[in-house]
Amino acid sequence: MSASDRIREAGLVLPAFTLPSAPFLPYTLHQGLLTVSGQLPVRDGKPLFVGKVPTVISAEQAQEAARICVLNILGWVSHASNGDLDRVERVLRLGGFVATAEGYIEAPQIINAASTLITDIFGDKGSHARIAIGVASLPFGVPVEVEATFILKAGN
């Protein structure tokens, strides 16, 4: 089953993006290596979750935020691959950042939600290296940010 089929079967919808006019890019693609910048749990430019884990945002809410970050990442992968997610040959790495209250040490469990979604979508090609870090703050006060690196097959 293709990645696109798995996304449809799960009832997920990837956002459609256009490149912003900014001094940075949401992704770079060089010789098949696709790096997607950190994505936040936002829709239409607005944060869906705000606050630190676990004092304001529960672990379950933060895991949902991590999954939304992955959908945003995949929206950029779709953009970079001209809509063909089957060009993903391999997921190399996920980097996850969790805004945590002092003393909270469960950031890896939050980012597990992102890792699980990636492997559910890409199967064996989705196995990846990962880092999960608790941080003091993230942009717009969101609880989670996720970045990713992929290998894309040559294509259109």
Is the pLDDT reported for residue 150 higher than 90? yes
Mean pLDDT of the chain: 96
> How many C-beta neighbours within 10 Å does residue 66 have?
27
Report if residue 9 sits inside a domain. Answer: yes
Whether residue 156 is predicted with pLDDT greater than 90 in this model: the reply is: no
* 96 found inside a domain: yes
Give the C-alpha separation, 6 to 85, whole Å.
Answer: 11
Total-model pTM: 0.97
Residue 107 lies in a domain: yes
Q: Is the pLDDT of residue 1 over 80?
A: yes
Does 19 map to a domain? no
Percent of the chain with pLDDT over 70: 99
CATH code, domain with 88: 3.30.1330.40
Asked if the structure places residue 128 within a domain, the reply is yes
> What are the residues whose beta carbons fall under 8 Å from the beta carbon of 91, sequence distance 6 or more?
118, 119, 122, 125, 126, 127, 128, 148, 149, 150
pLDDT at residue 15 is higher than 70: yes
Q: Higher-confidence residue: 155 or 120?
A: 120
Q: How many folded domains does the chain comprise?
A: 1
Q: Is the pLDDT of residue 155 over 90?
A: no
The reply to whether 21 falls in a domain is no
The pLDDT tens digits of the residues spanning 77-134 come to 999 999 999 999 999 999 999 999 999 999 999 999 999 999 999 999 999 999 999 9
